[in-house]
Structure 1
Amino acid sequence: MVLDIWKQIKQKQIQPIYLVYGTESFLINETKQLLIGNILDDEELDFNLSVYDLEETALEEALEDAETLPFIGEKRLVILQNPVFLTSEKSKKAEHNVSKLEAYIKEPAPYTVLVFLAPYEKLDERKKVTKELKRNAVVAEAKRLTEPELKKWIKERAVQNSVEFSEGAIELMLTLAGTNLSMLTSEVDKLALYAGKGSRIEADVVDKLVSRSLEQNIFNLVEKVVHRKIGDALIIYHDLLKQNEEPLKILSIIAGQFRLIYQVKELTRKGYGQQQAAGILKVHPFRVKLAAGQARYFSEQELAEIMGMLADGDYQMKTGGLKKELIIEMILFKLNHA
């Protein structure tokens, strides 16, 4: 896991070769910045930092740079982005002499830190170069964080900002801001700035200040429907209209949330756990957890009828039978009695 190597980097325990792969772009970029900040001083950046896109540049050019002595300072940092040759895909532009890299891996330059940033879910484990890298490099996977890891992330980010979050505040933060690390980081930093150093941030502050995405507003709307609070649901809906959100898009996201609720309920009935369901549905386990909580308030038949109602609303919007804004209001009233 990529978080495991951050402590080593911060302690200046720098290794000659790193391979960071995975689909969590925020973690990949944070690792990149962490390496830059802990290997090179500001005055060394222009001379000893090189960043190559291997979809555009041949591997040999980057390796020649890696084998060049640093101009000033003790270390040269060479970052290789998009090493597509580590996957089963073929490079569309640049040609790569992989055998030269295999030789370098066995005997890396002592004055260079070579970093591969591979934004891919999987690497081709059958390839010799992949095996050599995994055997000789520090390898970290930048994958989507689990709910406990996200909570730990929020706590650690809060500590960096000299504040503390209550457990309730952390739970609400995840519910409101979602699981996107970039958004979570931005919101934690914002709340810390608001509260001031040494403060303890409670759930009421999170509720007051955290920005809601359209998807999160729709989740809240559905949550109101779940508890048959039609008035509150309409307030959220009218607020979205005031923000110039397109009714068809709103309806699409409402349908997506109910579809998830239906799917989670069905998978739970079949005995699947939250992690298994998340893997099947290709969503974060935290979303499955929230959907499972909402699913308890509906029978499978009710959810099937709701999906049909939403499909009819989509058809009416696209055929121009009724005013779009009115269609959703009618659906919300019907959902209130579903």
Structure 2
Amino acid sequence: MVLDVWKNIKKGQFSPVYLLYGTEAYLINETKQLLLEHALHEDEIDFNFSQFDLEETPIETALEDVETLPFMGERRLVFMQNPFFLTAEKTKSKVEHNVKRLEAYLADPAPYSIVVFTAPYEKLDERKKITKELKRKATVVEAKKLNEHELKKWIRERTTAAHVEMEEAAIERLLELAGTNLMMLTNEIDKLVLYVEETKRINEDIVEELVAKSLEQNIFTLVDSVLQRNVERMMTIYRDLMRQNEEPIKILSVMAGQVRLMYQVKELSRQGYSQQKIATVLKVHPFRVKLAQEKVNQFHEGELLQLIRELADADYKMKTGQGDKVMTLELLLLKMKR
């Protein structure tokens, strides 16, 4: 798991070869940054760090650099980006790679070098010998979306590293407000850590006060207000979104997505699907499914279907120019309150 790999890197325990693959760019970039910080001293980077784009450079050329002895340091660090020969994807690159040369290197890697392959692809071609060999010999980091348990562990480790304690309720609220985007969470955690510089403790009230709500969270609350017939809260959130110059069509689109998700979660839950299975089927983060499950039992399927129809009608009117977009959205909300 990525968090365990990070822990070893911070301890100075390195593997000769790493394979970072997946579409969660934050995890790939964070792993690379940790290796840069811990594998080399700052004054060694100019001499012993290099990176190659394998869509432009043959693997055998890059390996020549890997096998060059480090200068004024203990080790070399080499990043190899876009190893398209590990996938079945088509590429415009005309570079030919001697993968046999890589297979030979993996069998006997240089003891003084760390090689890091970064493959920003959703899947690797497991049928290829080189893919199997690299996954067998390398320390593999699959850069995929973290589940709820992993997210909470990641937040705890990040705050603990800053010598700050974060209460469990505060972690839960942070995820509810900021969502699951790691870059956004990082920014919010850094802000919280600075705020509690003296007390070294983050509670739920501090999170509520400081963390900016994502558009999705604002609209999740807006939809909940609509379904709860809480007119005051509904119009307060709507006016806040207008003050933030959010585009009405975007608001409507996110609202429709939220309501559709709630309907789908309700239906799949009724069929006995687990939270993780629902997330897999709908291709959304399990935490979003969890939040939806906490709400859907309060509403009948008919209410959600009617709301979906009204949202679709408003969307059609906006996109076909049948009235002012802001007015269409406001009228929709006022209609929904009844």
TM normalised by structure 1 equals 0.96
Q: Counterpart in 2 of 1:103? A: 104
Given residue 26 of structure 1, which amino acid in structure 2 is its aligned partner?
Y
Letter of the structure 2 residue corresponding to residue 17 of structure 1: V
Pair 197,49 (structure 1): closer, same or farther in 2 beyond 3 Å: farther
Taking the aligned partners of 2:246 and 2:252, their CA distance within structure 1 comes to 11
CA contact (8 A) 1:19 1:115 kept: yes
1:226-265 superposed matches below 5 A: 226-265=227-266
1:78 counterpart residue number: 78
2:51 maps to 1:51: yes
What is the rounded CA distance, in whole Å, between the counterparts of 1:125 and 1:65 in structure 2? Answer: 27
2:324 maps to which residue? Answer: 323
Q: Supply the AA of the counterpart residue of 2:74.
A: E
CA distance 1:201–1:188, change in 2 (3 Å):
same
User: Which residue type is aligned with residue 22 of structure 2?
Assistant: G
2:8 is the counterpart of 1:29: no
Mind listing any 5+ residue stretches in structure 1 that lack a counterpart? none
Alignment partner, residue 60 of structure 2? 60
Give, in angstroms, the shift of residue 197 of structure 1: 4.4
1:161-240 equivalences under 5 Å are 161-240=162-241
Q: Which residue of 2 aligns with 1:41?
A: 41
Displacement of 1:198: 4.1
Structure 1 position 217, deviation (Å): 1.5
Structure 1 runs of 4+ with >6 Å offset: none
Report the counterpart of residue 92 of structure 1 in structure 2. 92
Q: Is the 8 A contact 2:3 2:154 kept in 1?
A: no
Equivalent residue letter for 2:75 = K
Q: Could you tell me which residue of structure 1 aligns to residue 292 of structure 2?
A: 291
Q: CA deviation at 1:152?
A: 1.3
Residue 252 of structure 2 contacts residue 311 of structure 2 at CA under 8 Å; is this kept in 1?
yes
**Equivalent pair of 1:18/1:115 in contact (CA under 8 Å):** yes
Q: CA deviation at 1:20?
A: 1.7
The one-letter code matched in structure 2 to 1:312 is: D
State how far apart, in whole Å, the 2-side matches of 1:319 and 1:103 are. Answer: 61
The amino acid across from 2:202 in the alignment is: I
- Residue in 2 that maps onto 1:18: 18
Counterpart amino acid of 2:16?
P
Give the counterpart letter for 1:240 in structure 2.
Answer: L
Alpha-carbon contact 2:88-2:125 (below 8 Å) kept: yes
Secondary structure class of the residue paired with 1:79: strand
CA positional deviation for 1:216: 2.0
The one-letter code matched in structure 1 to 2:39 is I
Question: 1:122 is matched with which residue?
Answer: 123
- How many residues were matched structurally? 337
Counterpart of 2:14 in 1: which secondary structure?
coil
Partner SS for 1:297? coil
Any idea what SS the aligned residue of 2:80 has?
A: strand
TM-superposed CA distance for 1:294, in Å, is: 2.1
Structure 1 position 76, deviation (Å): 0.6
Provide the C-alpha distance between the structure 2 equivalents of 1:168 and 1:255, rounded to a whole number of angstroms: 29
CA contact (8 A) 1:164 1:198 kept: no
User: In structure 1, what is the Cα distance between the partners aligned to 2:8 and 2:196?
Assistant: 31
Assess if the C-alpha contact under 8 Å between 2:103 and 2:130 holds in 1.
yes
When the two chains are superposed, the root-mean-square deviation of aligned CA atoms in Å is 1.4
Alpha-carbon offset, residue 226 of structure 1: 3.0
Hey, what's the Cα distance between the residues in 2 that align with 1:154 and 1:109?
A: 36
Moved more, 31-40 or 296-305: 296-305
Instruction: In structure 2, give the amino acid aligned to 1:193.
Output: L
Q: Which amino acid aligns with 2:19?
A: L
On the 8 A contact 1:20/1:140 being kept in 2, the answer is: yes
Residues of 2 paired with 1:24 and 1:73: CA distance?
32
Letter of the 1:237 partner, please give it. Y
Contact 1:161 1:197 in 2 (8 A): no
User: What's the offset of the Cα at 1:69?
Assistant: 1.2
Equivalence for 1:302: 303
Q: Using the TM superposition, give the Cα deviation of residue 116 of structure 1 relative to its aligned residue in structure 2, in angstroms.
A: 0.8
**Could you tell me how far apart the structure 1 residues matched to 2:320 and 2:116 are?**
54
- CA drift at 1:30: 0.9
Please tell me whether the aligned partners of residues 162 and 198 of structure 1 are also in contact (alpha carbons under 8 angstroms).
no
Q: Could you tell me which runs of 5 or more consecutive residues in structure 2 were left unpaired when the two chains were aligned.
A: none
| Letter aligned with residue 73 of structure 2 | G
Q: Identity percentage over the alignment?
A: 60
Q: Distance in 2 between matches of 1:318 and 1:141?
A: 40
Q: Secondary structure at the match of 2:114?
A: strand
CA contact 1:26–1:182 (8 Å) conserved in 2: yes
8 A contact 1:261–1:295 mirrored in 2:
yes
User: How much has 1:170 moved relative to structure 2?
Assistant: 0.8
